[in-house]
Structure 1
């Protein structure tokens, strides 16, 4: 009896699956979007079972050759449309309607909650409105000193390895610098991750990022139930480390709220005007902005604020780490470009490598601007972006049904020979000499849901890279990078360079 019921249920599922996919496939075919045939119920999952974070890039190239710049795959009963066409990007990024993230992002919910990265609709609009003024020039100018101080610690920690022959994986070293910077700018606290890399919060951020990235790729960890069954020890670690981070953030928020209420009672009101024990003005961290913000006349709760602080901590360290590390890797392997950069740094800042950099200095480093742009083109920190259609919608003249997961392959688009000459070569001058489609070059996304912190990130990158170049000559040592599609772009072989103390003539 049980077997008969099971077979009947399986038959029903198979018929429903066939009819559902046939209807959706017809809609996609009419839109010119095709893909490989799949199995009943499983779709194309078995075709992907042997892929990993490295081989995904080659798989995408194969699909591009077979099906063009747009194709679809079935993950069980969920279809995904993959695209690397700038025209389609333009339609997506310009849309006020296709702003929901696709379901891969749900793996971040236990950590980040429904903050700026994951929220949608009126909540997202309200939070975005709060943060937009926070990235004003005057606010960002306060943070330049933090960038400079923490990059000074970075070069100090690297000196013992700067012998011209030791291979250094720059990624984990820069990651600690970025963590220190984002903790101080987002929360207004020093965690000193560079000095104390075993600090529990710093270790938790790193571990949770790695676990979530693995869950995106591994089918047995993708869904919560199968994750807890097949990898219970990892699920336990994830829960424990998220709880640790939430406790830390909650404590910081409560302490800052008490300080704010005290400042209001004392009449100073605004944290940026508060002074510490030696009379130095305190900077306004992003947390201070949230503590003073209201939505519909009501202040944000501590849980609301934690969502946003955790989101900034997540988005503000790994992405800049990837950008800085890959750009340093490229500079190390192009000595003529490195010399141009150093010449510019000497002209703008001078020969005193201990001199603190200013916002004015950063603005005048024009060649460094295009070097970073080219580094982000070749190695975008976020290699893919996901969206979900909440309703039937026309995108670039194509009718896309509701509940379609759209994956925009930025890494592939940024190396598309139809958009860039010699796309795999590191040529910063292309940003001076070539007319580039703005929607072909979108390492920070674009449109209403672009990266709100891109100016912050670029200033941090310029400050840190220029500091490294003032102290060291970057050398092409170690294995070449092997790009790995993770939550952010990493390298399976590390991001390797050598260092030699800079000699000023």
Structure 2
């Protein structure tokens, strides 16, 4: 038999050509599959407003996840008041709903999050796993039932001490900056504060996050994971895992996931050893509050079966992510709104001052929550205007009819919360910050599904009471200690991501009050 001897250079070229051929074949098969699976959806989309099916959909028309993008969305809402079709490409049709009449239809259901390859939530599974955020069917029902006790008011009450302790560290940093005369970068510092709170409440994890700031490895890891996740969601060419995990971003995402999982797993195993050697009484009677991890380790279903280590890690990582990133975004926009609108800042401060007038400290207590009425209205208006979670996706597991159009199983629906909260067909002058919208007499005639910052229905945010307590405590204590205005040399611009962020942070001029 004759053989052909190839030079090393030729061998490399042949190998490279083969690799390219494999990738091209894979991508071609994926495109054909996506096109075929979307044919029925494309025919349905003809009955939904704004049906444009160009090969790249709106990818190159959409200005970006920025202020220009929000203006683009607003202009679309003016034309299409209830819903519209959104095409990421010809293969990824999404139906956006942003009016109470259309949004409530999907919010009242328990249809799951879309987790198929190519959908935004799919890209977060490696990090967060199948916790309550992503779980479906029986797994979701079981997880929701097991986790509900973790948010009972008797569990939440001791967390007030944690909220105040973490806020003490934030206020100390703010005071140091005030004394120096420099402007204070609020966004990154509040993110460190809320992550500090979540780590303490989730796992009693004592940390130096607020002292180390951006250099803390856990903070850096979480921030980078969020950014890579967002970037991939806007880059269709990186949707296939086989391509993404070849890239430097994909390899980094893997490495960061391993790092954050290692921290969580280590704490879980340490706590399990305490449980095994000392029993449940050791967890309940250690002279401190029960944290989220305690409750997960002790949780049992109807058959007396507990959660696996993987289940627990998924729920803890989800709790940390959802709890810190959304609240830090919310607090950024709450303080921003009060910095811009001084008259509302002063009215909130008067309420807080009156509440704390005869106290030796400015610690906010559990029984204070219902007394911060005006401050709560200002918080809600900031959540409406800026929507910390801009949107939620659902995938139909059975047909659903909206405005006379029956959508087939597997359709992806975006509940566009920012759009819902800023829809000019729902809210009068939605661009104006007006806390009076949330007076009881004004709420009375408003559709309850017009304002859903924590989602609504059976899949609403299980931790919304926890979050609102945290928002009230931190906001009230900042108001008590400081007067603040924006540093206008650094304009504040919104940037849509997993949460509503700022493009360049938010800088405040702080003046310490004499109290």
Displacement of 1:9 in angstroms is 12
- 1:482-501 aligned at under 5 Å gives the runs 482-501=493-512
**2:70 matches 1:63:** no
- Structure 2 residue 419 is the aligned partner of structure 1 residue 406: no
Q: Name the residue aligned to 2:161.
A: 145
String of CA shifts for 1:79-135, please: whole Å, max 9, x gaps: 211221211111111114x23345310111011111110011000010001111211
2:150 aligned with 1:112, yes or no? no
Measure how far apart 1:380 and its partner are.
1.0
Instruction: Assess if the C-alpha contact under 8 Å between 1:108 and 1:212 holds in 2.
Output: yes
Q: Is the 8 A contact 2:53 2:90 kept in 1?
A: no
Residues 166, 498 of structure 1: 8 Å contact kept: yes
TM-score (norm 1): 0.89
Aligned match of 1:262: 277
Structure 2 residue 478 is the aligned partner of structure 1 residue 468 = yes
User: Aligned to 2:335, which of 328, 341, 351?
Assistant: 328
- The residue aligned with 2:468 is 458
Contact 2:396 2:412 in 1 (8 A): yes
The residue number in structure 1 matching 2:447 is 437
- Rounded to whole Å, the distance in 1 between the matches of 2:255 and 2:457 is 37
Q: What are the Cα deviations for residues 47-105 of structure 1, in whole angstroms up to 9, with x where unaligned? A: 35763444432332343345553222332423211221211111111114x23345310
Query: What SS is found at the alignment partner of 2:449?
Result: coil
Gaps of 5+ in 2: 1-17, 19-23
In structure 2, what is the equivalent of residue 241 of structure 1?
256
Q: How many residues align?
A: 484
Q: 1:320 aligns to what SS in structure 2?
A: helix
- Residue 157 (structure 1) shift: 1.0
Shift of 1:163: 5.2
Whether the 8 Å contact between 2:339 and 2:345 is mirrored in structure 1 is yes
Which secondary structure state, in structure 1, belongs to the residue aligned with residue 397 of structure 2?
coil
Find the aligned partners of 1:14 and 1:309 in 2 and give their Cα distance: 36
Task: Give yes or no for contact 1:419–1:437 (8 Å, CA) kept in 2.
Answer: no
Compared CA separation, residues 50 and 413, structure 1 to 2 (3 A): closer
The answer as to whether partners of 1:162 and 1:500 remain within 8 angstroms in 2 is: yes
1:477 to 487, 500, 511: 487
Between the aligned partners of 1:122 and 1:489, the Cα distance in structure 2 is 31
* SS of the residue 1:109 aligns to: helix
1:89 matched to 2:100? The reply is: no
Equivalent in the alignment of 1:168: 184
Q: Answer yes or no: is the 8 Å Cα contact 1:386–1:405 preserved in 2.
A: yes
Question: Shift in Å at residue 15 of structure 1?
Answer: 9.2
In the TM superposition, residue 192 of structure 1 has moved relative to its aligned partner by 2.3
Native 8 Å contact 2:113 2:121 kept in 1: no
Match of 1:503, SS state, is coil
After superposition, where does 1:81-480 map in structure 2 within 5 Å? Answer: 81-96=95-110, 98-101=111-114, 103-162=119-178, 166-197=182-213, 198-229=215-246, 232-264=247-279, 269=281, 271-274=283-286, 281-295=287-301, 296-350=303-357, 354-432=361-439, 433-434=441-442, 435-478=445-488, 479-480=490-491
Tell me the CA shift for residue 346 of structure 1: 1.3
Q: 1 CA distance for matches of 2:66 and 2:457?
A: 28
Shift of 1:470: 1.3
Task: State the Cα distance separating 1:347 from its structure 2 match.
Answer: 1.1
Q: 1:11 to 1:67 in 2, by over 3 A?
A: farther
Q: Note the C-alpha offset of 1:8.
A: 13
- Cα RMSD of the aligned pairs, angstroms, is 2.8
- Counterparts of 1:196 and 1:19, CA distance in 2: 52
In the TM superposition, residue 354 of structure 1 has moved relative to its aligned partner by: 3.3
TM-score normalised by structure 2 residue count: 0.87
| Distance in 1 between residues matched to 2:27 and 2:240, nearest whole Å | 21
Query: Which is further off, 478-487 or 143-152?
Result: 478-487
Does structure 2 retain, via aligned residues, the 8 Å contact 1:80–1:406?
yes
Question: How has the CA–CA distance of structure 1 residues 351 and 298 changed in structure 2, closer, same or farther, with 3 Å as cutoff?
Answer: same
Q: What displacement does 1:182 show?
A: 0.1
